[in-house]
Amino acid sequence: MFPHLSGLTLPCAPSRAGCTVRAFAWHPHTNKFAVALLDDSIRVYNSNSATVPSLKHRLQRNVAAMAWKPLCASILAVACQSCVLVWHLDPTSLSTRPSSGCAQVLSCPGHSPVTSLAWAPSGERLLSASPVDTAMLVWDVSTETCVQLQWFGGGGVTYLAWSPDGSKVLAATPSAVFRVWEAQMWTCERWPTIRGRCQTGCWSPDGSRLLFTVLGESVIYSLSFSEYRGEMQGQVGGSKTASIVADLSETTFETLYGEERIGGEVHSMVWDPTGERLAVIIRGHPESPNSQPAVAVFRTRNSPVFELLPCGFVRGERGARPQLISFHPCFPQGALLTVCWSSGKISHIPFFFVGALEPHASPRRSPVPVPAWHPRASPPSGAPHTCTGAGCAAPAPIKGGFSLPLLSSP
């Protein structure tokens, strides 16, 4: 029915074997995250509270994405098969089963399945998109009104990313083209790619640089934008061409377990809010048995010149593949990477460093990154574990499910 969607794989399609977590979302301001499970229920974990609310709704089918509303205590938008559900959770409530009356249903005919969501960083608007619908919707959630952003050609939208400064939005399509919208007058720039569709992308904290990857290529592209001033209404201001900043083709690494081959296409990519760490899920070659998916972490710097240096790999239990990665939006001591593994575990990997923007030089930052493997080095639970150049982080003990061991507030 939709030929252009044939090659499309959602981040976690139910058919994909070994997929256990459908979606994951950190709250932008607090130590709280939501996890969508395979049975389409959503659990909300909070470091300050033992109650784990479980959200269920009869329209909550095929959850593909979740996003917490910024500048708000507890509003969670969920992309479902037929609609966008907006849960209004009471942060002080002790109930474990919020009633479905707490959920607002945002639906628009022809706009399904919804697979990607993005809140404006100012918290006022919500974007929703579907790979089937050519229109992207801008919602005013409080009044449940929407505006369609329509264009011609390129199909729907498979991936949305709103830049942290709120000025631009990346919208990837199922065809070999992606668009960058400017979020004031909502005009867009069209970017054709050479080989395939844009798989994933992420913005630098100031919204001046976009890193993206393309299906079928094992490189990371960078696209820089002129600094946003607000005076150039209706201009996106992208540079002429994107440049390759990293080549991730397959390489052999010496590890404690012998040689391992890592490299290939990038499955997803996240940039931490300080702009100092970039985490990438590299999908291994499906043909060669040695190669397996891995999470690679890079150290990045955005100014005065863009720099991207390898930092290390994050590895889970044997056989566990990383599926979703996300950075904690406000981790004070550096960056906190959360990885959802195919084994159903979620691990938090902290990176302790002092931001480059700080006036004093960091004594803890070593100049040379040490890619190191420490698999199963931390009993009893065999947690995934990494070392950064800044020193080893405490392993995250994960006990059969989800926990927030590292986030107990001091």
Partner 1 sequence: AARAVIGRCQARRRRGRCVLGWRVAAAITWSVLLLPICTAAFIILSGLDPFHPVRWISNSFNDLYTSYVIFCIFLMSMVIIIISIFNIEFYAVVPSIPCSRLALIGKIIHPQQVIHSFVHAIMGMLVTWCATVMTKGRFQFLAVSCTPSEGLEDAVPQMCLNEYHLFFLLSGAFLGYSYSLFYLINNMNYLPFPIIQQYKYLRFRRSLPLLIKHSCVESLHFVRNFCVTYYFFGYIPKVWICTTMDLHTDGKLHPLDTLSGLLDLSLFYHTWLSGVFLLMTWYIAWLLFKIYATESHHFPIQPTFAQETDQCLPKILNSNPPLLIKFLALQDLMLLSQYSPVRRQEVFSLSQPGGHPHNWTAISRECLSLLSDLTQRLIAQQEAAAAANGRAKPPVGELKVPPQTPEDMSFQSQRSNIVLRASMSPLVKPSLMPVKTSPGSDVGSPFSSPALNYKMGVVDIKSPWHGPVQSPHVMRRGPKLWTSVSDQQMNGSHHESFPVLSAARTGTEAVQPRFIYTWLQNKQEQIKTFLSKRALIMYFFSKHPEASIQAVFSDAQMHIWALEGLSHLVAASFTEDQFGVVQTTLPAILNTLLTLQEVVDRHFKLPHVSSKPPRISGSLVDTSYKTLRFALRASLKTALYRITTVFGEHLNAVQVSTEHKKRLQQFLEYKE
Find the binder of partner 1 among 5, 47, 124, 381 (CB under 8 A).
124
Among 38, 147, 244, 370, binds partner 1 (CB under 8 A): 147
Grouping H, G, I as helix, E, B as strand and the rest as coil, residue 3 is helix
Please report whether residue 58 would count as binding partner 1 according to CB under 8 A.
no
According to the binding rule CB under 8 A, does residue 187 interact with partner 1?
Answer: yes
How many whole angstroms separate alpha carbon 41 and alpha carbon 57? 8
User: Cβ–Cβ contacts within 10 Å for residue 177, how many?
Assistant: 17
Q: Tell me if 148 contacts partner 1 by CB under 8 A.
A: yes
Q: For the beta carbon of residue 111, count every other beta carbon within 10 angstroms.
A: 22
CA distance 387 to 311: 9
- Token code pair at residue 396: 């995250």
Cβ closer to partner 1: 69 or 299? 69
Q: Which of 36, 64, 141, 169 binds partner 1 (CB under 8 A)?
A: 141
Output 186 or 257, the one with its CB closest to partner 1: 186
**408 part of the interface to partner 1, by CB under 8 A:** no
Show contacts with partner 1 in window 352-391 (CB under 8 A). Answer: none
Nearer to partner 1, 329 or 369 (CB): 329
Q: Stretches 35-43, 77-85, 139-147, 373-381: which one binds partner 1 (CB under 8 A)?
A: 139-147
Do the Cβ atoms of 138 and 145 come closer than 8 Å?
no
Kindly write down the DSSP assignment for every residue of 256-283, as one continuous string.
TTEEEEE---EEEEEE-TTSSEEEEEEP
CA 158-293-280 angle, to 5 degrees, is 55
Sheet of 75-79, strands arranged across: 65-68, 75-79, 84-88, 103-106
**Minimum Å distance from CB 67 to partner 1?**
15
Q: Does 230 bind partner 1 (CB under 8 A)?
A: yes
Residue with the two structure tokens 């040695």: 290
Size of the site for partner 1 (CB under 8 A): 35
Pick from 91, 112, 110, 90: nearest CA to 99: 90
How far is the C-alpha of 286 from the C-alpha of 271, rounded, in Å?
26
Indicate which single residue of 150, 243, 249, 333 sits in contact with partner 1 (rule: CB under 8 A). 150
CB 95 within 8 A of CB 121: no
Cβ 330 to partner 1, closest distance in Å? Answer: 10
- Site for partner 1 contains 108 (CB under 8 A): yes
Judged by CB under 8 A, which stretch of 140-148, 155-163, 255-263, 315-323 contacts partner 1? Answer: 140-148
Asked if 296 touches partner 1 (CB under 8 A), the answer is: no
Does the footprint of partner 1 cover residue 273 (CB under 8 A)?
no
- Residue with Cβ nearer partner 1 (125 or 283): 125
Q: From the centroid of its chain, how far is CA 139?
A: 21
Token pair 């707490």 is found at 102
> Across the strands, what pairs with 347?
339
Q: Which of 6, 15, 143, 241 binds partner 1 (CB under 8 A)?
A: 143
d(CA 181, CA 166): 11
* Helix/strand/coil for 102: helix
Cβ distance to partner 1 smaller for residue 152 or 289:
152
**Closest distance to partner 1 from the beta carbon of 351 (Å):** 23
Asked if residue 111 binds partner 1 (CB under 8 A), the reply is no
Nearer CB in complex with partner 1: 230/359 = 230
**56, 81, 123, 235: which one binds partner 1 (CB under 8 A):** 123
Which residues sit at the interface with partner 1, rule CB under 8 A?
Answer: 27, 29-30, 71-74, 91-92, 104, 108-109, 122-125, 138, 140-145, 147-148, 150, 167, 184-187, 229-231, 234
